[in-house]
Chains A and B, each alone.
Chain A
């Protein structure tokens, strides 16, 4: 059997697991591992400029490819810097393996230099974690970590490795396990047929049905089946923020996103539905609003999810179905096709008529500003046009994120990359790096704001080093727009700590300082042409800084503690 050191074993195990790209940052406790990386060429390492960015980049890679993202950081501050990215991945169920260096085994617990209890610190935000006690265990632990991260409801797994375990001076027999069985871990592999039958009967008898689907459909690669099911039924469908792209946004059956900033028609349809089929969605508070007792009180809820704990957590499911999206939808589709119950065509036509009436309200209509002022929505509309709707779009968090979700019509899954659950500012740029590395020839746009982009701006250097031609679309309203919107709506316009117009950097000069191209757009008449020019620079990162209306709000917006039907539609209108 081949003899390898702990460090070599780790990198070899990653390769044997099919990993070809990892994101990280070196430091003392990880140096043996970094030396092992130096001595091989199968696993490529991307050097970021901050460990948080390594996790977001791995996350963007995972979301766009469906493969697990891999991160390598050192102990102490390296590990704690990775925490925000691990939490981001945890909230959105992203498969990720984070390897952190640790101080030597005999100094653990002694408050050694750069020592942090990573297992303890990360415990509430990981699916599982491993502390490697012996180098011989490395292959089995790596195998288990990837198995846990990628199966069932995916999530991040931490492997903490003391420095002496990776010592190049000691070697051990290496063999990568072909398969692994963990007796205490058995994620569901199919749904309960009886429950599926019951759900299909209710679905076929519905008069005002809605399909409400979320990120689980994207993660479980169920988009194709979802399309088939929706078309077989002819029912209206809405996606959550995380589910965008799982169903083509340009399809006539699509009502748009639902929830806090969902379309009028999507939220009204939910509110008046008699049957809701939820698939891979978790009735999150951005969908249900804070008072769940008002949430769709007349609807029978059919809930498909791989995680039993997501079912009946906030909204009670009448028919719970625990299982992976693909086998469950397959079985549903079969039963729908074979069902003796005929869908009430008259009721469905009346339902669609009602929905079309809601659609006429045009809740995402944009009123252009007077003169040359650019509305932020118009930037996303221009982006959609310039990229033919084919870009991978990452976003940060705030108004720009909602505008991107509302106005970029995603027809394919894994194209919309955003931090939905944790809402992590600083996610967009590093996530775009992961996407661009996975798809070097694709158009990758990072829609951001001047607040969020400054949270991981240092990654412009990584983009330079790796020659990543990302297009950064900065909706620059010179303020923390979403905070300001809430302050307008709930704090009588007292802008506590949400403005900084006097101290914003010159983003064009900043981009140039990092060796990239910077473009500033201030006039509506130049928006599309300058965006086109920027996107025509195929081999360069272009930082497109767009001055937008600083007073714009995101609408529709759910009214706090209200029902799904209660929304502000503009600064002056509400339902």
Chain B
């Protein structure tokens, strides 16, 4: 029996994932399916939450499962399960085959013809394994201490989390594709409070990396404290229309939403504000947005997507023009195009569907101070809330809650809260006046690397 990859997850007697995926495929073909793919996954993870200098909870876990997608006469069915025994896989394959019977015939469903694995750097870090639990707990405690000790104004650190995971996935299909890869990731965050009672403001500090070695616990803790402190004493300002600087946290959150609306599936189903706007001007030429499935530092980087298509770099907005949408195999088939390697899966529990990999906004030349100076009199948005409910993905209009700092005479002024910022997505992108140089990775709306942005004008609603 060929073992294609080294055995990853350390639990004894772990089944070979590729073999499990192939068995599931064979079983579904035997049951009568025309085309099949199977995605098998195995993972171990550790999460530690600390509070006031001690461990609040510690979770260590391992899991595995497989999802089988069967195409039968232009219909498709899906089944997933956690039983990777031969009997379990056979029963799963039969269920997937049976599930297809109720769907309508759709000429566009099927497996991608062009499967393969793109060259990617090593997606694992040895320290996820080599650091013992105690050392990871110390990392979390350091984050919390750095937040608490940053300033006397820090009144509490509600949550401090360190988490890491190692996962291995294998994909096999009835066209003969079989491959697997392994990846690790680690993140830490803290949620700090500054002030008390009705003056209390909160701040988030966060870092992501392939392993604990790549995290800077002091910086994460400090960031949580500093973000909370910078909003201390916030009041509701008067309503105005003014230039707005979006913090990288906020820019990343918006890009996550925008990435979702660039799904070809959403466009084809009439659910995207970008429908019909291909090759049109949708942003200021300063803004360049790429979906990059191969970025070495991006946590969504992988050799292939959820249906075996190599991941790639896809320029979405360049010179202010919308260049393309994101395609999985199905939506590409509908549009008469090629998949862009964006048939993503949340896990083995969901069939592939169009999703972003790593969204990257190219950094510009301006420091954050220069953006603020250029704004003159405006508003620095540190945080937004209610983004997912506040943005209408079809019309593009949004109205979301925000907090931040007023910009007065080119410098950060008093803290402001209970603000709504309102515009529509395209107007906001067209109004970008400058792009900051300090881009960073953030886990908001997927995996996003975003710099701060200066937007010419927005409605900032207050009292």
A and B are interacting partners = no
B residues adjacent to A (C-beta < 8 A): none
A residues adjacent to B (C-beta < 8 A): none
